Amino acid sequence: MSESGKKAMSAYIIAPNPADPTLTRPVRGRDHTGAEVDIRVVEERPLTIFLNSQEIVTAMTIGDWPDLLALGYLLNQNMLHRDDAVTAVDFDAELETIVIRTARATNYEQKLQKKIRTSGCAVGTVYGDVMEALEAVALPKAELRTSWLYRLTKLINTTPSLYLEAGAIHGCALCERDQPLVYFEDVGRHNAVDKTAGWMWREGVSGDDKIFYTTGRLTSEMVIKTALMGVPILASRSGFTASGVELARKVGLTLIGRLRGKRFVCLSGEERLTWDADPDAISDEPREAGRKGADR
């Protein structure tokens, strides 16, 4: 691993582990010249999430951090309450199931019949009462300096990751000022954000002064989940959807997209921005690198 890669890895509490042999598998094929090539491809496994005795969803995931994924999913769907007492987390790798047990009795049979399919890959869903929970969210004022943005993107983009190893993956990083804290990857960007939400809840970490970075599109689903985590700033190297922008403006979330090199666009919550860095002093990102990043 390069020195820059080691430095990037040391900055995190949790970082991707591209060396984990369970997350990818070798596949042999042929390239454009007809020559045989061996590449690694990302694994995609089902994980069925139960809340107490009720089956909630089966998600397709790379398979790491199943406890955080299950906790974050249930939190972001307003099924697990933030003051709930979780009495057990039972994961069975052979059966590909995880059961979250709570002291509070739960029954979401009617709720499960009223779901909205979102643009998130790997079965993205949002339930109707999530929007009701969103109405109660009051995001803090916070601050975002452009110097922090530039440092964060450099650190995150040089972090050894499954994307660099095998592609076909999304990444999400929770950051404080110019320091990335945790960085999760998965085949669906909503899985990566759910892992982050699960970690924040388990560790008692507040979103008030945090920045959430994602490699994926800035959709309504990403805005909803970021706001429910209490994080006031969402940034991405990718672009926006109209519904994502509209919802961000409604809830007062700072939304920054097309963040590559020295360039970015803010379409919501610009009052949090402080332009303290000279863009001319920042190296721009090559167009080819931008296209590769957009394919995550």
Mean pLDDT of 88-117: 87
C-alpha span between 295 and 175 (Å, rounded): 23
Domain spanning 144-294, CATH class? alpha beta
Given this model, what pLDDT does residue 164 score?
82
Band (45; pLDDT cuts 50, 70, 90): very high
Q: Sketch the domain layout of the chain as residue ranges.
A: 45-135, 144-294
Return the higher-pLDDT residue of 235 and 136: 235
Given this model, what pLDDT does residue 217 score?
93
- CA-to-CA separations, 248 to 110, 132, 199, 204, 253, in angstroms, rounded: 28, 15, 23, 25, 5
CB 257 within 8 A of CB 179: no
Q: Sign (positive/negative) of CA torsion 287, 4, 41, 92? A: negative
Query: Does the pLDDT at position 281 exceed 70?
Result: yes
Tens of pLDDT along 200-244? 999 999 999 999 999 999 999 999 999 999 999 999 999 999 999
Phi, psi of 45 (to 5 degrees): -120, 150
Q: Which helix (H) or strand (E) holds 20?
A: none
Given this model, what pLDDT does residue 271 score?
97
* Residues sharing a CB contact under 8 Å with residue 135, sequence separation 6 or more, in sequence order: none
Given this model, what pLDDT does residue 2 score?
54
Q: Above pLDDT 70, what percent of the chain?
A: 88
Given this model, what pLDDT does residue 125 score?
57
Nearest to 17 by CA among 64, 85, 69: 64
Nearest to 159 by CA among 178, 173, 148: 173
Mean pLDDT of 36-56: 95
Tens of pLDDT along 61-71? 999 999 999 99
Query: Does the pLDDT at position 254 exceed 60?
Result: yes
**What count of other Cβ atoms lies within 10 Å of the Cβ of residue 123?**
14
Return the higher-pLDDT residue of 86 and 117: 86
C-alpha span between 96 and 55 (Å, rounded): 13
- CA-to-CA separations, 6 to 3, 15, 82, in angstroms, rounded: 5, 11, 35
Judge: domain 45-135, CATH 3.10.20.10.
yes
Coil, helix or strand at residue 13 = coil
Tens of pLDDT along 117-131? 444 454 455 556 777
The 8-class DSSP code of residue 285 comes to: P
Given this model, what pLDDT does residue 130 score?
77
User: Dihedral angle at the C-alpha atoms of 3, 5, 7, 12, nearest 10 degrees?
Assistant: -160
Average model confidence (pLDDT) for the chain?
A: 89
Task: Indicate the angle between helix axes 220-228 and 128-135, nearest 10 degrees.
Answer: 50
The residues that bridge with 125 in the sheet, in sequence order, are 117
